[in-house]
Amino acid sequence: MSLGSSNNVLRIFVLMITIFGSVISFGKIIVSHESGFYDKDITVAISSDSGGKIYYTIDGSVPTVGAANTFLYSNTLLIQKSLDNTLMYIPSSPFDWKKPEAGIPKATVLRIIEVTNGKTSDSTSRTYFIGINHNLPVVSLITDSSNLFDEEKGIYVPGKLFDPSNPDWTGNYHQRGDDWERSGMMEYFENGVLKYRSTIGMRIHGEFSRTFPIKSIRLYARNTEKEFTYPFFGKKGYKKILLRNAGNDWNTAYMRDAVAQSTFKTLNFDTQDSYPVIHYINGEYWGIVYMMEYYDVRYLQVNYGVNEKNTVIVNADLTLQDGKDGDEKYFLDLINFVKASDLSIKANYDKVSEMMDIDNFIDFKISEILAANTDWPGNNERTWRVITPESGNKYADGRWRWMMYDMDLTMWNIDHNTLKTGIYGDPNVFWTMDENATILLKKLLQNDEFKSKFVARFLYIVNNIFTTSNIDSIIEYYKSLLENEMPLHLKRWPYTSVEAWQGEVEWLKLFASERQKHILSYFQEMFPEAK
């Protein structure tokens, strides 16, 4: 039977699980095959235990009785291997978008409803991968294609809001907020087995990286629980998670952010857990992204056990990232105290130590310096605190703590003097010259106790954490995860060759082997007393 005829059904979305060959149904609709990976064609049967009429779509849209793309189910559906892609040929950027190569396999997506007495009484979905195999986990995103690719409302395209006179910062994908969230479903697979599915909201994520052909997508839990109940990072309860496009590293090594954050993961500040996954949109292969933690107040509750309603996160520009409006002023209080005070005086330094976690701050600043982050300071830096201290929790003491993110512009310039930039700014990078970007480190270094601690910690991290062997092993780990998938990813996003990608990975290894001698030279220049 052919796909799309009123006698067939292809591609489904679910609320059921097949265990040891038996079907367990959550609702009235019963589907013979669970979402998953199959070596050969399958024949899918759909039934109901309540006798309503069953309708389905195969394009990701929600079935609507009477719509041209909605079919009444009357017979089993033959699900076959397919190369019938269409969405991937829609340009997603005015910059660097290239037509995907031919021969990319497509999965089959079904969305199903049951209608009883004229009303929808149940719904479910499925994603079937026929003759497709991946070593990485897989995320299937299912939504009406207009939500992403329509000229008027599509969030993945330049669309009606693109202005050629301001191409960097206009376009549908630059829009934010509730009005630019689009609904859908997600399914998550590990080792070819469905592990989780949920109703979601989707928004484009990032700053300038929104213009890149492959985009970061922020996923919102829009299920009954209002949170993701699967332990994606070994923890449950997140309200938002990211599918990140590797940022400015999207067309080079495709791992800088992950490598940098993994390098410093054991230190005394926040890093984002992440791992590479494959994502599909309405059954079409969309390539590698990183499933990643998202910094919001729920993240703090999940990771530190603090009350999310009692926390605040502040951006590098002193604006509120998450929390209650007005609570960002507490960080400004810290900045203003430091500006107005002589921190060589012990009482003033002690006051600052009560307002911020000094050890956390030192580890964070050193790590950004060692990694040669050229998009810092003054950007890509967040701080958080509990507003009212909570007893029995050392992280709920009300002090400010630092969060690392967006490390995709690290590990490029081996000889970059990020130590100098971190203290004084870089005249060639305007945001680093904002006084608020450097004031804390600059003023704290006037205190002998802080300076001694900073120097000792710097040398410890260089000699024990930021070592060539450690970084090289992390690079090799991510290379091993990506290398089997990269040929297909580069067919989908043909911006370079596999050989060129391998060359970029080798450059990272060169950075790992050469960076220490340059940064130590700058360090000894600035701190000649260090041994």
Q: What is the DSSP letter of 432?
A: G
Cα separation, 221 vs 181, in Å, equals: 12
DSSP 395: T
Q: How far apart are the first and last CA of the chain?
A: 77
> Which token pair is 225?
């629980």
Q: Tell me the pLDDT tens digit for each residue of 234-250.
A: 999 999 999 999 999 99
Task: State both tokens at 102.
Answer: 């031919």
Which of 258, 293, 328 finishes a domain?
293
Q: Are residues 241 and 327 part of one domain? A: no
d(CA 368, CA 131): 44
Looking at the structure, tell me whether residues 281 and 327 fall in a common domain: no
In this prediction, the residues of the chain whose per-residue pLDDT falls under 50 are 1-27
Residue type present at position 401:
R
Assess if residue 523 is contained within a domain: no
Pairing of strands 274-281, 138-142: parallel
DSSP 325: T
Q: What is the dihedral of CA 227, 230, 236, 239, to 10 degrees?
A: -30
* Cβ atoms of 216 and 235 closer than 8 Å: no
Same domain? 109 vs 37 = yes
Helix (H), strand (E) at residue 453: helix 448-464
127 and 247, same structural domain? yes
Query: Considering its fold, how many domains does the chain have in total?
Result: 2
pLDDT, position 51: 84
Q: Are residues 103 and 68 in the same domain?
A: yes
In DSSP terms, which residues pair with 199 in a beta bridge?
185
**Domain limit, last residue, from 443, 466, 489:** 466
- 244 within a domain of the structure (yes/no): yes
Preceding omega of 377 cis (within 30 degrees of 0): yes
Tokens coding 429: 């990078």
C-beta of residue 47 within 8 angstroms of C-beta of residue 30: yes
**Amino acid letter, residue 164:** P
DSSP state of 160: G
Same domain assignment for residues 84 and 174: yes
Question: Do residues 236 and 229 lie in contact, with contact meaning Cβ atoms separated by under 8 Å?
Answer: yes
Report phi then psi at 298, rounded to 5. -70, -35
Cα separation, 302 vs 318, in Å, equals 24
251 CB contacts (<8 Å, ≥6 apart)? 96, 212, 493, 495, 496
Instruction: Pull the structure tokens for residue 68.
Output: 């041209």
Query: In this predicted model, what pLDDT tens digit does every residue of 75-108 receive, in sequence order?
Result: 999 999 999 999 999 999 999 999 999 999 999 9
Q: Is residue 476 part of a domain?
A: no
Any idea what DSSP says for residue 180?
G
Task: Tell me the residue range of the domain where 200 lies.
Answer: 16-293
Residues 40 and 81 in one domain: yes
Q: Which two tokens stand for residue 463?
A: 């000699």
Contacts of 411 (CB under 8 A, 6+ apart): 256, 259, 260, 371, 372, 508, 511, 512, 515
Q: What is the pLDDT of residue 43?
A: 98
Four-residue CA torsion sign, 252, 254, 257, 262: negative
Together in a domain, 376 and 462: yes
Token pair for 130: 């026929």
**Radius of gyration in angstroms for the set of CA atoms belonging to the chain, rounded to a whole number:** 25
- C-alpha span between 208 and 250 (Å, rounded): 12
Is the domain of 327 the same as that of 284?
A: no
Domain contains 324: yes
Contact 439, 338 (CB under 8 A): yes
Is 186 inside a domain boundary? yes
For the CA atoms of 431, 433, 437, 439, the dihedral, rounded to the nearest 10 degrees, stands at -170
Examine residue 516 and state whether it is found in any structural domain, yes or no. no
Evaluate whether residue 471 is within a structural domain.
no
CA-to-CA dists, residue 259 to 256, 262, 356, 414, 509, angstroms: 5, 5, 27, 15, 11
Distance CA 79, CA 41 (A): 6
pTM: 0.93
Instruction: Determine the 3-state secondary structure of 72 from DSSP.
Output: strand
Q: Which of 466, 497, 518 is the last residue of a domain?
A: 466
Both 277 and 396 in a single domain? no
Q: Which residues contact 39 (CB under 8 A, 6 or more apart)?
A: 130, 131
* H-run or E-run covering 508: helix 498-526
* Residue 398 identity: G
Does residue 269 contact residue 403 with C-beta atoms inside 8 Å?
yes
285 and 321 part of one domain = no
For 202-237, write each residue's pLDDT tens digit. 999 999 999 999 999 999 999 999 999 999 999 999
CA separation (Å) from 512 to 144, 286, 483, 509? 44, 31, 20, 5
Do 321 and 285 fall into the same domain? no
**Quick one: which of 84, 79, 70 has its CA closest to 45?**
79
Does residue 423 lie within any of the structural domains?
yes
